[in-house]
């Protein structure tokens, strides 16, 4: 099967039942995407597909051939953090860090969803390429990503600084 991952085209000989999460972690050498619950409840496995966030543990890899898959390894580098990554550092948006890759991918997808106007109570300013969410809306939109350390205040502050 052929995939486009973080801008590179790669081919893997994998069982057709392989999840996208297992493809990334066990075959593509990209362990930044984390396996938590493995049943769609925690968000640790969140990646972006054509800019939309999905739980990769629930996705069969075979369905995502020809799509642009972005993992945390494609968001920034250790030497050149993306703005949202730097904001997580600045605002202590993590403790153990296990949920952080999923939180960051989810935040990027969340911002894109908000810009598309979902739902209607979101105030948009497309000209400024920004969205305005209150804290309750922001938390609701990020509620699919759990942080067992409870670093939610820092996560909200980081996301707000960059996207909202």
Site for ligand FES, rule CB under 6 A = 35-38, 40-45, 55, 57
Cα 62 vs. chain centroid, distance in angstroms?
A: 20
Determine contact, residues 120/110, Cβ cutoff 8 Å.
no
Judged by beta carbon, residue 55 or residue 85, the one nearer ligand FES is 55
Q: Which is nearer to ligand FES, 24 or 87 (CB)?
A: 24
- CB closest to ligand FES, residue no: 57
Tell the smallest beta-carbon distance from residue 13 to ligand FES (Å): 24
Instruction: Report, in Å, the least distance between residue 102 CB and ligand FES.
Output: 8
**Nearest distance in Å: CB 78, ligand FES:** 24
The nearest distance, CB 21 to ligand FES, in angstroms, is: 6
**Residue number, 25 or 91, with CB nearest to ligand FES:** 25
């Amino acid at each position: 099967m052929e995939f486009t991952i973080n801008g590179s085209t790669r081919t893997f000989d994998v069982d057709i039942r392989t999840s996208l999460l297992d493809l990334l972690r066990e075959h593509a050498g990209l362990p930044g995407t984390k396996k938590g619950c493995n049943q769609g409840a925690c968000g640790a496995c969140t990646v972006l597909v054509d800019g939309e966030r999905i739980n990769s543990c629930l996705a069969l890899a075979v369905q995502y051939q020809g799509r642009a898959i972005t993992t945390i390894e494609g968001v920034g580098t250790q030497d050149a953090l993306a703005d949202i990554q730097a904001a997580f550092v600045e605002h202590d948006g993590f403790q153990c860090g296990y949920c952080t890759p999923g939180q960051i991918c989810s935040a990027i997808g969340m911002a894109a969803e908000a810009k598309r106007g979902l739902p209607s109570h979101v105030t948009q300013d497309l000209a400024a390429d920004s969205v305005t969410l209150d804290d309750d809306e922001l938390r609701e939109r990020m509620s699919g990503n759990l942080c067992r350390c409870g670093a939610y205040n820092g996560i909200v502050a980081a996301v707000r600084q960059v996207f909202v």
